[in-house]
Amino acid sequence: MNQSEIPAVPMPTILIVDDSLSYLAALLDRLERHGFLIVLAQTAAEGLMRAEFADPDLILLDVVMPDIDGFEACRRLKAGKKTKDIPVIFMTGLTDPKQKVTGFDAGGVDYITKPFQIEEVLARINTHLALRRANRELHDMIGTLAKAREDLVRNEKLAGLGALVAGIAHELNTPIGNSLMASSTFELQTEEISRHMSKEGGITRKEFEHYIENARMSVDILSRNLHRAADIVTNFKQVAVDQTSSQRRSFLLAEVIAGNLLTLQPTIKRTPFVITQQVPADLMMESYPGPLGQIVTNLINNAILHGYEGRSEGLIAVSAQLSAQGWVTLSVEDHGVGINKADLPRIFDPFFTTKMGVGGSGLGLNIVHNIVTEILGGRIDVSSEVGGGTRFTLTLPMCAPVR
């Protein structure tokens, strides 16, 4: 990149508000020499207007001015949407500590005492400009992280939908296969009885009764399996709506857990692990079943990938009960390798993982923690010991806070 291609760094803009022309002239001369773009105002009202339109990086504000003093001007700046984040440094000849407290309460960040030394002014200006740049960078970083988090949650939902499609395809294989077998058999029997009827002599009563018995059996098989397929589709449709919309509704916890376990069946059946569910059939909640299902799915996958890493068998138990205080306690427990005691306080931290570089992002449990606390209005605890397994316990209100 040649010199002409280097992007120009914008000059910091400083607004100086002071009713003394001599101070304005002195500051203008000195600060312009040090590369600052200076905007001047002789009254607080003029300063408020220029702050709105010039969007300065910093304001030097005299305290003692006619009509509106510096403290009131600062309060108005901090109340303005466009000017509330601009750092304000007061310039004053006052030395009363109470005045300084008043200035800080009004929103000022620093003081310059008149008569000032230009070196002190420059040092304070550069310090607060650096702080503002750092704050802006932090704000941008927070925005980027929030966007990344949204993308991660969206990707998790897409992954969940992929598992949902695989799950419904897997679960429909059996009832549809049985229905096809029954219908094919019935079709062959019907063709055979039709041939018999077209022959001279027709069919016997015994042959017809046998055909009717087979027909009843085929209809029964078809009815049971097609109803089973319809139930599966209805169940998966509800899970899909919950996962993609994150809508609040009333639901039976056992049905939501069972629906999400169905989506995991294709994954589970490729492993030697068994999942059990012990949830009261009548436990009703008013909450967000989609995020709740996402938590259960994440915790089960976590147990399979990490808890039972290197194991050839294992049990994952999902259980729930209603406490005497009216809270729902939901736990996901394995008997796997456990978690080191030193790692337990950090497992919900973003980007913490013992599998960095080998497939672990360190965000799964952080997302779980955020969903539990921010959406479901509960808390999540973990107990574990090396070689003794891990239990994640969710304590949730039966009625989640309205988002």
Same domain, 351 and 384: yes
CATH classification at residue 27: 3.40.50.2300
Answer yes or no: do 26 and 159 share one domain. Answer: no
| Same domain flag for 237 and 253 | no
What does the block give as tokens for 395? 């304590």
Residue 150 domain flag:
no
Residue-by-residue pLDDT tens, the chain, 403 positions: 455 444 455 788 999 998 888 778 888 888 888 889 899 998 999 999 999 888 899 999 998 888 889 999 999 999 998 899 899 999 887 677 788 888 889 999 888 888 878 888 888 888 888 888 888 888 888 877 777 767 666 666 666 566 666 666 666 777 788 888 888 888 888 888 888 787 766 778 888 888 888 888 888 888 888 877 776 676 666 565 555 566 788 999 999 998 888 777 766 777 788 899 999 999 999 999 888 988 898 898 888 888 887 777 889 999 999 987 889 999 999 998 888 888 888 888 776 665 544 444 456 788 888 889 888 999 999 999 888 899 999 999 999 988 6
CA distance 396 to 403: 15
| One-letter amino acid of 307 | G
Separation CA 220–CA 185 (nearest Å):
13
Residues 220 and 88 in one domain: no
Q: What is the rounded distance in angstroms from the CA atom of residue 117 to the CA atom of residue 246?
A: 60
Residue 12 phi/psi, 5-degree rounding, is -65, 135
Question: What DSSP state is assigned to residue 306?
Answer: I
Is residue 162 packed enough to be buried (19+ CB in 10 Å), middle (13-18) or exposed (0-12)? exposed
Assess if residue 350 is contained within a domain: yes
Q: Which residue, 241, 270, 290, sits at the end of a domain? A: 241
CATH code of the domain covering residue 365: 3.30.565.10
Reduce the DSSP state of residue 247 to 3 states and report it: coil
Q: Answer for the pair 40, 8: CB distance below 8 angstroms, yes or no.
A: no
Query: Are 164 and 210 contained in the same domain?
Result: yes
Q: What stretches of 42-123 adopt beta strand conformation (E)?
A: 58-62, 88-92, 110-113
Six token digits for residue 403: 């988002």
Closest CA to 122 of 17, 27, 38: 27
User: How many structural domains are present in the chain?
Assistant: 3
Q: How many helices (H) and strands (E) does the chain have?
A: 9, 12
Measure the CA–CA gap between 150 and 363, rounded to whole angstroms. 12
- Tokens for 128, please give them: 């607060």
Judgement on whether residues 38 and 100 belong to the same structural domain of the protein: yes
Q: Is residue 353 part of a domain?
A: yes
Same domain, 18 and 66: yes
Q: 286 and 211 share a domain?
A: no
Hey, which residues does 39 pair with through a beta bridge? 15
381 lies in the same domain as 266: yes
Domain of residue 76: give its range.
13-116
In a domain, 100, yes or no: yes
The verdict on residue 6 lying in a domain is no
Look at residue 383 and tell me if it is in a domain: yes
Q: Report yes or no on 137 lying in a domain.
A: no
- Greatest pairwise CA separation for the chain in angstroms: 128
Domain limit, last residue, from 241, 275, 296: 241
Q: How far is the CA of 105 from the CAs of 77, 101, 254, 290, 303, in angstroms?
A: 13, 6, 55, 46, 52
Q: Report the alpha-carbon distance of residue 96 to residue 114 in Å, rounded.
A: 13
Residues 47 and 176 in one domain: no
286 and 365 part of one domain: yes
The answer to the question of residue 134 being in a domain is: no
Number of Cβ within 10 Å of residue 272's Cβ equals: 10
HEC per residue, 34-54: CCCEEEEECCHHHHHHHHHHH
- Are 54 and 102 contained in the same domain? yes
Domain end, chosen from 241, 268, 294, is at 241
